[in-house]
Copies of this chain bind each other. A is one copy, B any other.
Amino acid sequence: MAPSRLVMKFGGTSVADVARIGAAATRVKREVDAGKQVAVVVSAMAGATNRLVEWTSAVSPLHDAREYDVVVASGEQVTAGLMALALQALGVNARSWLGWQIPIRTDDVHGKARIVAIDTDLLGERMAQGQVPVVAGFQGQGSDNRITTLGRGGSDTSAVALAAALHADRCDIFTDVDGVYTSDPRVVAKARKLDKITYEEMLEMASLGAKVLQTRSVEMAMKHRVRLQVLSSFEDKPGTLVVGEDEIVEQEMVSGIAYNRDEAKITLTRVPDRPGVAAAIFGPLADASINVDMIVQNVSEDGSTTDMTFTVAKSDLARSVRLLEDLRATLGYRALVPDPNVVKVSVIGVGMRSHAGVAQRMFSALAEKGINIQVISTSEIKVSVLIAEEYTELAVRSLHTVYGLDAD
């Protein structure tokens, strides 16, 4: 039988200083001693990337993303070398690998490149010889021999891509939280750590505001069926496994309640209702790279006008308002009502595919607490509602209880 292969990824807080790098190395050694073939992926030391980004902005606010990548990729380079040294100090045969040395080939979208291919011949060979590769996360190699980076949080993606390319049995993501919770423990005291969660649910959680894993890394794990584990580098206990549905025997109807305060609502009242009105509104926003999330449209009694409500990122609100005001004559709406004081609360669970009434239970629970729902959007495995921001905690806690997620 082939020895089991493990990719271990350590985030910024897990390698924040020399002592923590040493502690992380000790965890790696334990897996090596247990006979596993291990590859390590590291982020930059906590704070390092921010400092490098600040320098590039200070030198040139409109910077060349290719040079930005040269600067910020140095953070992971430092950690990769230090981690290799820390492993060697424990007697583990280890070597650092930078993106260009493997190489990890990406496209040329500097600053948020996508991995195209990882050549694992050399890495696999060295691992078979007992060496632990320590791979600098977040970076790759584009064309013309240039360094690329994958965007913030990209080291998760590096780890998953490497695990897929190496056909690893699991990819462990060490971070400063001990797993994925049924909800944000800062808001819901009774939130429980989940033992397992499906890729689909994790993906919804990530895109709905849970910041445990980068969305793209979960998509990639799902696509390549890489078993992920999110766990704490500071505690010695299992974390949360992110896996396919087939690995989860007893599926709960709902596995988590997420919330996102980063959205703002815009309402256009009395828009003349004619074919193409939606395109006339959302086309210009898309052209300005403004993502629209939730959309509802209410037709007036006589059918001649419509009220259009939608959400954008809070950081895009001012720009969106300016853009739509400029289009007022074209669109012909009566009023533009922006509202940043909203929150999107979501109920997530693959189990709702086979359980009716999940959304209805949510609406009732919120109504019972006197919380008005402004917008609703649903997908196969989640129901999201937009409500006034002041109800965030009340709504999230109530739903957590209603769906039976509270810890004993």
Residues of A within 8 A of B (CB): 18, 21-22, 52, 55-56, 58-60, 63-64, 66-71, 73-75, 77-78, 80-82, 84-86, 88-89, 95-96, 98, 100-101, 145-147
Contacts and interface: CB of A to CB of B under 8 A. Distances in A.
Given A21-B59, A58-B18, A59-B21, A84 B98 contact: no
B67 A71 contact: no
A56 B77 contact: no
B78 A64 contact: no
Given A52-B78, A101-B145, A89 B60 contact: yes
B60 A86 contact: yes
Nearest to A18: B58
Contacts of A18: 55, 58-59
Contact of A70 (B58, B98, B145): B98
Nearest to A25: B59
B82 A71 contact: yes
A48 to B, nearest CB: 10
A77 B85 CA distance: 20
Contacts of A67: 81-82, 84-85, 88, 95-96
A130 to B, nearest CB: 16
A17 to B, nearest CB: 9
A60 B77 contact: no
B60 A71 contact: no
B100 A85 contact: no
Contacts of A59: 18, 21-22, 82, 85-86, 89
Contacts of A73: 77
Contacts of A77: 70-71, 73-74, 77
